Structure formats: structure tokens, C-alpha cells
Structure 1
């Protein structure tokens, strides 16, 4: 899922292994907003400093105010200089803000990331942050009579929709891109060529025989000799390899390079070509070739597949810890609000070996959240926001047909003022990125359509 933040989706451990700080230069300077710690407890007066950015280049006295919502990673200020929303801002004379999400990036509400402190991390608290920010900025900057528009992609896309839903007096309209508004514990559906399925099955069989571990260690260039002592050890290894495909499919042929994101040249076509290349050997050998290609692309000397190391990283509660870039925080949110676990519990996907139970156990291991509590939390999220049955107005829902997450989003119009924009041939959050000459016609048309909607909505 995109965060307007680091541009790299990391459901849990992938963020640990691939998170980079390669942020391009920008003129936007970080600023700080005094925010409430707990918006739902009037007796708690604690406050903290939340990071935000401003671009007033296009602002006109009677123009709207655009608010980009940060997500599950550091807010990347490069978005203050690039992106489709700035094209809209230039045409509409908008003042632009971007607010970093609590507990991510430099926005630290608490001294550490202990589970006790993470109770202040939720979409509801984040929406209240946005509401308070919008209220105070309107009062102090003379923006009370302006129309505010929320923007977000992926989880922040859901927040954009929910901001309009829950605070309609504060937000006039929202662009909720690639927004998985329906929470779901198990989300296993993925596609892969037949060779990929054979490779995964072959590897699972080899993991049953300890005499193969030395060869597997060499084939996949592991950082230490493969040790499979528990089901979690096996599942973690298999999930790590499958993650190569998940990430590429999610962001296929996007234009994230402006953010400093590495690997945008690796596409579905590239992976399929490797998996179909018989000269590399059997499907297992091709699977290993994909892993080596990804390690080379991300400048990784070796692949760390130690589940024990992962647990140590994820249970480190320091802001200096290896999972503090967003891994510990986001997995907490999945355990307490959304689920979204990409398991192998479905015949409609090609991988094997990391079932839902493996994912759910981490909630208990990392945060003492039981399977029953997780299920209840996901149900409450859909009850609170409405899931697919959102009822509001002036929210547009762009989604890409290649993006697996469109299955949890709005892909057909709910009403005339709750339209969907389904973009054939594009992936996750494609319409948010800067336009380029090679963009498919459908993507260019989608961007134009969203602009016309905003133009129309801002007149009323």
C-alpha cells in the first residue's frame, strides 16, 4: 500500500528489509503542530508535536485548501513538489498541506513504541488529528471560509474517505485513491504464472528435508544457514520470497521513481520472463533467480529469513529500533483494526506455506492481541465506517485493475456524488503519481475525470 510517506508498502517485515531513506531534495520545510494525544479523553491534556508541510505556490485568496494525508511511514516532503494533486492545485488555486500520521516518521506522540503506548495509534485518533489540524489551521490562518479537500492513497485513501464521512462539516470533498475501505482479516487472493505455483510447491517439499537446507541457503543467498525448527520459521521464509511478487504486482509500472524509490524497473513482465525462462533450470531455480534479482535491485548482500530476528525487530519498542520505520506500528494497526493478512489460505492464489494462523499468531506474540480480539476489531471497523456500504457525498474512489487491493475498495459508483473511477491496466495509486508520456490513455483520462469532479464539487 502506498504511503504518501516512503512510497513503499511494507506489510510488516518487508518494510523492515526494504525501507530506505532515499528521499529526493525538496524545498518544503518541515513544520510542527501541537496535537492532542488522546482526542477521546477530556481528562487527558497531554500534547505532542506532529510534523506537517506546506506549499503555498499556487494559493489564491479564494482558492480551496488541499490536505494530503500521511500514512504508514515517514511523510515524504517530495510530494509537496510532485504529484497529480499539485496539478489540480495549480489549476484551482489551492493551498496545500500534508500532515504526517501519528506514530510514523518524526511524529512521535509517546516516548516509545510499547504496546501500552500504541493504544493511541488508530485510524480514529488519526482522523481526529486531521480534524483538529484543519480546525486550528482554519482559525489561525484565515482559512475558515475555504473549501477543504482531502487526498490520500491506500490506507490514507481510506482515511480521506472516512474524513469526509465522519467530519463532513470540515471536509468538503475527498479523493480516496486505491482505498481498501472494507477491512478483512484474511486477504489471500493473488495471481501468478503456473511456474510460480510449481516453484512454491517444490520449495515447500524441500523444506521438509533438512538435508536440502545447505543447497537452499546457497540458492537463495541467505545471510545464515537455513534453520527450520518451527512452522513460523518455514512460513517466514516462504512469505519473504512471495513478497517479491506481491510488491511488484501491487506497484506494476508505476511512476514512483521521483520519490527515490528503488526497483520501479522490475515489473510483472520482468518477473514472468524470469519464471518462464527454461534456460535457468526448473521452476525452483527460476524462483531463486527472482530472489537474487530482487536482492541485486535493492542492493541487499544477502537475504535475512530468520523468524527469530524478525520477532526481535518487531518487539523492539525503541524509536531507534529496526521496525520503528513503520513495521511495528502498521502490524499493530492490522492486529487492532484491519487484518489485511496476505495468507495462502485460498486455492485462488499460487503460494504455499504461510497460512492465516501464522499471521494471527504474530498479533498475540507482538501485542498480546488474540485471534478473537482481532476478528472483533475488524468487524468493529466495518461497523464504524461502513465498509463497502459507505454513505456520504463528494468522495471519488479511483482504483487500478491490476492492483490486488481494488477488491477491498469501491470499484462501481455508489451514487452520483460517490463515483468510482476504475482504471484498466494500472496498479496501486497510479493516478496520484506525476504524469508521464508513456502513461496509458485510461490513466490520463482518469486524472482528468477526477479534476472535473473536483471542479464541479468546489462550485457548490
Structure 2
């Protein structure tokens, strides 16, 4: 088994090697700040590094009566999340809140060892969720000295949503409540079916594009599997997929498979009803557009015909502008907006989130989750063993999801019905002190995006629930 690409959180997942320029070029009304935080919060006399955060106070200055909205930065440059979490700012304007977006260590420009942060295992050992949460607690303690007594609401989407939920669990004295959107806190060994993520991707394509859409995609993968170890097809595959690279080995064919897989899985996560610029610049309803291309196939027995239209579907994700002359198989699937190195390390250590496929209940190929193969990849790449029990030890995890959250309180878990990360998300209320719901027509943290006229009705109503829940946490009443 090869590990050429790992699914993110989304979870994602942003790097010092570059940013999605359209996402980070400007942050109006926010002030960029730095704070010195310990590299190791769990050791005395630790050296420090500069963690970046953005803060906006003008809404609060009007009445000086609002809360602090604190976004737990996830696996990328913090500007990406500021620009793609417009509802937080929107609600802050209604509730006179201070807004803070904190950058996750080892992402964006918050590098504990500067350009050497990823160069040695010793430098990397401080990259973990618990160290990041301690950063956020450190920053909040500092802010609370200046803004004494203000209640804090933590926010996050995807991995950031996991952090927001864990923040409330670990630091309830600092956080009055948490909004955890599309937060797959159960996506670990023992609490998830590894195949479910890809089953939900396939279900999404079937619901939006009709059953013919995943059927064509599955056929394309069957052909690629057949051709993968037959070099007589390699030159033709270059032509059929218009690749920038030469296809000369079976690994190159596998790169085509991954190129398609990533396009379709990321499209399933970002199938928003308005244009977006999160992972890539995308039009509204991109899965519908992709399936519109894919289902133009008339002859499923014609390899070239099938590949041509499946590639057109994938290019709704990679090349919506139509400006690329060839398909670059090794193109960063998130245009540099996600920190691939940092996320890969987290996936190999504290956040091992199993994902597999079988080619039967999903539209891909047979590649079941193989923990031993993944462990081998991680040891070879990072020199680190996978900490499969990390979530259980630090935040509570077991085969019984209700048991995990029995002591938790004041956390709102929201999910979108189109989001494949439902596979590990909290979908039902497990105790009366939690809120959990699924938004029909919503996708990966749709509710955190800036409100738009064509938002699905349940995304709109979900935002109302968020506002009312925050009011209740802060005041004990809903206005």
C-alpha cells in the first residue's frame, strides 16, 4: 500500500511552503499580533516562540459588554480561516464581541524553530493537539487580563472544531462554551468504520449527480487498476489524462488514481451553494458541475471516452478557471492553503484517523485501511510511531460514543448532511448539556461561512441555533 496523499480536514489540513494567495491577501478590520508562548508547556523554563493571532475589537468597543469569540486555528495559515469563517464576524457584530483567530503552532508562520521546524524529530516533537490547546489557553489568559471577566466562546471547524470541543473539555474554567462544526472527534480506531468516509463521498455524488455519476467514476478506477501494471498503456494514459508528467511506472498510474480521488473527496467536502475560495477557487455547486461532465459518457467500454469525461469532472476542482494547459498530478490539492507537512506529521502521531475503501460500497478501488502499513510509512517518513490511543488518553474515547461525552457540557456539534466527515462526527445529543444536529444540504462547516442568500434553509436555521445557544451559555436566557 502506498501513502501518496492523506485526506485532510479538513481536516483537512496548510504549510509554510505557500499560502492560497487569494485567501490571505487582506484581512480588513483585524490587527495582526504576536505573543511569546512556551515551546513546551509541560516543562519548566521552556524557550518560547512567536505565535500569531488576529484580533478585532471595534464591535466590543461600542458597548463593552460582549463576549470573546476565540477561533481555534487548525492545520493552516490563520488567514485562511479568518477569510472562510465569516459567520463568526457576522455574529460578533450582533453580539458586540471581540474576535480572535489564533494560529496553530507549526502552521502558517507560527514556527517554533523557524525554517528548521520540520528538519529534525527533536524539533517536531512539540507538534500536537495538547500543545496547541495550551497555546490557546496561554493566549486567553493574557487576553483575560486585559478584558477582565469576559466570557469566552471557542469556535472551530473540522480539526479546528475538534480542538474547540477538546478546549472546552480540558479548559472549562477558560471557555464558557464551544461551537464545534464538522468536528470528527470519533474518527479514530474503535469508534469509526474506516470505509464510511468514502461511502459518504460516494453517497454525496449519487444524491447530487444521480447514480450514474459514481458508476462512471467506479468504472474509470477499474480500468486504471487493470492498466496499472501493464506498461503498454502508460503512454496512452498520458494522452488520455493530459498529464504534465510522463507516465512510466505503476506508481505514476497510482498518482493518476490519487489525483482523481483527491478531487472527488475534496469536492464532496466543499460542495457549497455559493462560490468559495477555501481549498481551491470553486464555483457554486461544484459536485453538480463535475457530475454534469462525468455523466456525458455514452460508451462505458471506451477507455479514452471514460477517462476524458472523468478528468473533466476532476478539473472542476483543479482547474475551474480553465487556464491550466495540462494536468499536474503532483499539484498540491489545496493550493498551498493547507499545511501538508504538518498535517502528515499529526496524522502519523496523535491524529491517526483511519480511512479505507473497497470499490464496492464506494466508487473508488480496493484499498482497505491497513494500520501496519500506515505505521511503517510513518516510521519511514517521520521516525515516529503512530499513537493510536492518543485521543482516548487525552480527551476520552471508547467504543461507546455516549460514554465518551458523558461528562462534557456546553459544546454545540453541527454537521452537514453532505459532509463525508459525518463518519466521525457527533450526530446525536448524548447528554442534556450538549447540542448536536445535522443540517440538511450543508457541507463541511457550511455554517461558519459568511451568510449568503442561497444558503440551504437548515444552514440558516443552524446559525440561529448557534446564536441562541451562545446567548444561553452566557446569560442563561435567549433573546
TM-score bin (small chain): 0.7 to 0.9
1:270 aligns with 2:292: no
Equivalent residue number for residue 319 of structure 1: none
Equivalent residue number for residue 350 of structure 1: 363
1:335 aligns with 2:348: yes
Give the conservation status (yes or no) of the 8 Å contact 1:58–1:94: yes
Equivalent residue number for residue 195 of structure 2: 188
Give the C-alpha shift of residue 108 in structure 1.
0.8
Q: Within 5 Å, which residues of 2 pair with 1:300-315?
A: 300-305=324-329
Give the conservation status (yes or no) of the 8 Å contact 2:241–2:327: yes
Question: What is the distance in 1 between the residues matched to 2:18 and 2:317?
Answer: 10
Q: Cα deviations across residues 2-26 of structure 1 (Å, max 9, x unaligned)?
A: xxxxx984757x9899962223532
Give the C-alpha shift of residue 87 in structure 1.
2.4
The secondary structure found in structure 1 opposite 2:283 is: coil
Equivalent residue number for residue 313 of structure 1: none
Question: What is the distance in 2 between the residues matched to 1:188 and 1:84?
Answer: 32
CA root-mean-square deviation: 2.9
The secondary structure found in structure 2 opposite 1:26 is: coil
Give the C-alpha shift of residue 117 in structure 1.
1.2
Equivalent residue number for residue 178 of structure 1: 182
Match of 1:128 among 111, 131, 134: 134
Match of 1:243 among 237, 244, 262: 262
Question: What is the distance in 2 between the residues matched to 1:396 and 1:158?
Answer: 11
Give the direction of change, closer, same or farther, for the CA distance of 1:34–1:93 in structure 2 (3 Å limit): same
Give the C-alpha shift of residue 368 in structure 1.
1.9
Equivalent residue number for residue 419 of structure 1: 435
Give the conservation status (yes or no) of the 8 Å contact 1:26–1:81: no
Give the direction of change, closer, same or farther, for the CA distance of 1:19–1:194 in structure 2 (3 Å limit): farther
Provide structure 2 residue ranges, at least 5 long, that are not aligned to the other structure.
Answer: 1-7, 206-213
1:296 aligns with 2:358: no
Give the direction of change, closer, same or farther, for the CA distance of 1:39–1:365 in structure 2 (3 Å limit): same
Q: Cα deviations across residues 368-417 of structure 1 (Å, max 9, x unaligned)?
A: 23xxx32xx12221332124422311110010011010120111112222
Give the direction of change, closer, same or farther, for the CA distance of 1:216–1:11 in structure 2 (3 Å limit): farther
Equivalent residue number for residue 22 of structure 1: 22
Give the conservation status (yes or no) of the 8 Å contact 1:234–1:353: no
Question: What is the distance in 1 between the residues matched to 2:259 and 2:11?
Answer: 11
Give the conservation status (yes or no) of the 8 Å contact 2:15–2:341: no
Equivalent residue number for residue 221 of structure 2: 200
The secondary structure found in structure 2 opposite 1:165 is: helix
1:33 aligns with 2:35: yes
Give the conservation status (yes or no) of the 8 Å contact 2:286–2:317: no
TM-score after normalising by structure 2: 0.82
Larger mean Cα displacement after TM superposition, 414-423 or 450-459: 414-423
Question: What is the distance in 2 between the residues matched to 1:152 and 1:425?
Answer: 20
TM-score after normalising by structure 1: 0.85
Question: What is the distance in 1 between the residues matched to 2:347 and 2:226?
Answer: 30
Give the direction of change, closer, same or farther, for the CA distance of 1:435–1:419 in structure 2 (3 Å limit): same
Number of aligned residues: 430
Q: Cα deviations across residues 235-255 of structure 1 (Å, max 9, x unaligned)?
A: 443122111100101111254
1:54 aligns with 2:55: yes
